[in-house]
Amino acid sequence: MQRTPIRTDPPPAAAGHTGGVGVPDPLAAAIAENALWCDHVGRAIGARTAVDAHRWWSDTRMPPLHPDAVSLVPGVAAGDLLAGIDVGPGCSVKDSHADVDLAPAGFSVVLTGRWWHRPPGPVPASALTPAVVAVGDEVAGGVLAGDPAMRLVVARDDQGTVRARAVVHDAGAGAVVGVSNLTADAGLEAEAWRAVVGVASGRHLVGWERDADLAPMVAVGGLLLGPLRVWLRPDD
């Protein structure tokens, strides 16, 4: 594979993006947004990142909870996905179509999830009041603080207490916004999703969630796309 620097606009797998009202390939758009999120984190810590037609990767170890490689299309060979990255203990890989077997290389699946797409449209009002602010130290260990492509949605109750937050990432492609790192107080997950969707109801929202966390997002109109899994190389 040819190694080229990643571009921030358009993002990788840009065939899934459009500046108009439609998204011809929501799955590709969701994967592209996630790879671009990883790239922002990687570049913020000085990692050397790259992308080609098949995968995004970093030849510098990424921070915990962030993959060292992300497949962008189905059918990527395991050897190609792992090429050029540090595959020692602690290496993690996002298998974006759940179709790559990394077990022979010493990896184990540590989580499964689904990509999702929430088309533009009305959403019921949330009991929480959202506000969009700059990202600070509360996300990715603070490495994204000041990144102009990242915004934090905070949702407060009627006493002004923050009950939920999520990061929204605008790649500058017009129609698509990535959503990640949503957290909410117990029992307020659905209200949190209503708040996040409410601040961007005119845009296509994309992202992924663990299998166990999908229901609140689906309840606000999210459509489930393909499966994904994350592989981890455990300590020897």
CATH no. for residue 205?
3.40.630
Count up the domains in the chain and report the number.
2
Q: Which of 82, 114, 146 is the last residue of a domain?
A: 114
Query: Which tens digit of pLDDT belongs to each residue from 56-92?
Result: 999 889 988 899 999 999 999 999 999 999 999 999 9
Reported confidence tier of residue 1, pLDDT bands at 50, 70, 90: very low
Residue matched to tokens 């969630």: 209
- Per-residue pLDDT for 171 more than 50? yes
DSSP 46: T
* pLDDT for residue 56: 96
Residues 96 and 135 in one domain: no
Range of the domain at 43: 24-114
Asked whether residue 102 is assigned to any structural domain, the reply reads yes
Residues 80 and 35 in one domain: yes
- Per-residue pLDDT for 199 more than 80? yes
- Per-residue pLDDT for 222 more than 80? yes
Asked whether residue 5 is assigned to any structural domain, the reply reads no
Asked whether residue 11 is assigned to any structural domain, the reply reads no
Rounded to two decimals, the pTM is: 0.86
Element containing residue 91 per DSSP (H, E)? none
Asked whether residue 133 is assigned to any structural domain, the reply reads yes
DSSP 63: P
Q: Are 114 and 214 in contact (CB under 8 A)?
A: yes
